Amino acid sequence: MNIFEALRQSHEKQRELAEQLLHTSGDTPERRELFDRLKNELFAHAVGEDRYLYIPLMMTDSGLNISRHALAEHHKMDELLEQLTDTEFSNPGWLAIAKKLAETVHHHLQEEEHGFFQQAGKILDAKQKETLATQYLAEYQKYKKADKDSLTG
């Protein structure tokens, strides 16, 4: 498996969880559970992706701009997650922030899969792509809540 295939596995989970979250309402166990899972998925993915894709890319001249751009988007998602964490689940404004987060996630994944990854693919060699996949997956697993895995499907 190469780094891009490894990263895409989590992208699919993120899309699914973000979509499901938008169909929740009020302070319900469903909303709490889905938010917790999305937050953990985004966190575990971003830690691994920052460390084993974007930091290595940042060390190259041609990878500098895409890395900065991607890290800025990760930061934006962090801020929205923080806003959601600080807002009561029952607050009528909660869903509007969740929508903004879902849009940001979708836009970011689209940009990675159809732009950043193609450019990164030209910068990294085959050996690096495999090594980074192994390192990314270990990091991702480390931050992923194991007990949530079976529920993610």
Residues that bind Fe ion (CB under 5 A): 7, 49, 112
* Cβ at position 51, least distance to Fe ion in Å: 12
Nearer to Fe ion, 7 or 57 (CB): 7
Q: Considering beta carbons, is residue 7 or 84 the nearer one to Fe ion?
A: 7
Helix (H) or strand (E) holding 150: helix 149-152
Min. distance of Cβ 113 from Fe ion in angstroms?
8
d(CA 130, CA 132): 5
Ordered alpha helix ranges (H), 3-125: 3-21, 29-49, 55-58, 64-86, 94-111, 117-123
User: Nearest approach, Cβ of 70 to Fe ion (angstroms)?
Assistant: 5
CB nearer to Fe ion: pick between 12 and 30: 12
Closest CA to 42 of 150, 116, 152, 123: 152
31 vs 108, which CB is nearer to Fe ion?
108
CB of 77 to Fe ion, least distance (A): 8
CA distance 141 to 119: 26
